[in-house]
Amino acid sequence: MAAPALTVLMLDTAFPRIPGDVACPASYREPVEILRVPVTVAQAVHWQPELLDVAPFEAALARARGELVTTSCGFLAPWHDHLARLADRPFLASVLNAPPVEESLLLTYDACALGPAHLAGWRNVAFTGLPPDGHLRDVIGNGRDRIDFARAEAEVVATVHQNLTDQEAVVLECTNLPPFAPALRMATERPVHHILTALEALRPGLVRREFLTAG
């Protein structure tokens, strides 16, 4: 059997993975493999990434069959080099491990948990987070079984608009946010970078065109 183009090491979550989400097969133009890793959002999203037990990701990486491997959480950026050394193929933990986009506004899942270890190499970048009491934080953090797409999209666009000044681009740390990238691209008239655009740069032709918003 041919190897899938991509393996996604997905956190142990229950919320819907809609097109544009890194762990939704419908986000791609090629076959993908999704491996569930027994690590929760609360465990992965932490100001002190060194406290994370990375062993479940190491074990999943050993089982991965994809020609390219990624994860479903941008907060794994500090572990990129460690996991990449264990991989025998291209590996990208987070969009934060892709070439930095300077003069950008970074939208993260939790601004209070994002620290210097996650942003190593990124300069001239402002960041803001999803509203702690908002719809998306509730859906993702509490594993709701339904997402109101229109409400979530409006929330993401409003959050970026409220914080965008003279930045030249928008970057989405959270891998659950690319479904809303097309609306952000249209609303801000700026390139929108995220995990899918970073994966496309590594393997052209992988991602569905509507989510390629960095150009």
Claim to verify: residue 76 and residue 36 sit in the same structural domain? yes
Claim to verify: residue 79 and residue 126 sit in the same structural domain? no
CATH of the domain at 34: 3.40.50
Claim to verify: residue 128 and residue 86 sit in the same structural domain? no
Say if 215 falls within a structural domain: no
The predicted structure's pLDDT at residue 123: 87
- Predicted confidence band of residue 17 (pLDDT cuts 50, 70, 90): very high
Claim to verify: residue 104 and residue 86 sit in the same structural domain? no
DSSP secondary structure string, 66-81?
Answer: -SEEEES-GGGGGGHH
Tell me which residue range forms the domain holding 61.
6-96
Per-residue pLDDT tens digits for 42-100:
999 999 999 999 999 999 999 999 999 999 999 999 999 999 999 999 999 999 999 99
Using a cut of 0.85, tell me whether the model's pTM lies above it: yes
Claim to verify: residue 123 and residue 136 sit in the same structural domain? yes
Claim to verify: residue 103 and residue 187 sit in the same structural domain? yes
Per-residue pLDDT tens digits for 194-211:
999 999 999 999 999 999
- Predicted confidence band of residue 124 (pLDDT cuts 50, 70, 90): confident
Claim to verify: residue 56 and residue 137 sit in the same structural domain? no
Claim to verify: residue 104 and residue 188 sit in the same structural domain? yes
Last residue of a domain, one of 31, 64, 96: 96
Residue 23: count of CB within 10 angstroms of its CB:
22
User: Are the beta carbons of 37 and 213 closer than 8 angstroms?
Assistant: no
Claim to verify: residue 123 and residue 45 sit in the same structural domain? no
Claim to verify: residue 146 and residue 88 sit in the same structural domain? no
Last residue of a domain, one of 76, 96, 116: 96
Say if 213 falls within a structural domain: no
d(C-alpha 18, C-alpha 20), whole Å: 6
Residue 164: count of CB within 10 angstroms of its CB:
18
Q: In what order do the strands lie in the sheet with 32-37?
A: 32-37, 6-11, 68-71, 91-92
Number of domains in the chain: 2
The predicted structure's pLDDT at residue 45: 98
Claim to verify: residue 48 and residue 120 sit in the same structural domain? no
Say if 210 falls within a structural domain: no
Residues 6+ apart with CB under 8 A from 15: 139, 140, 143, 144, 145, 147, 176
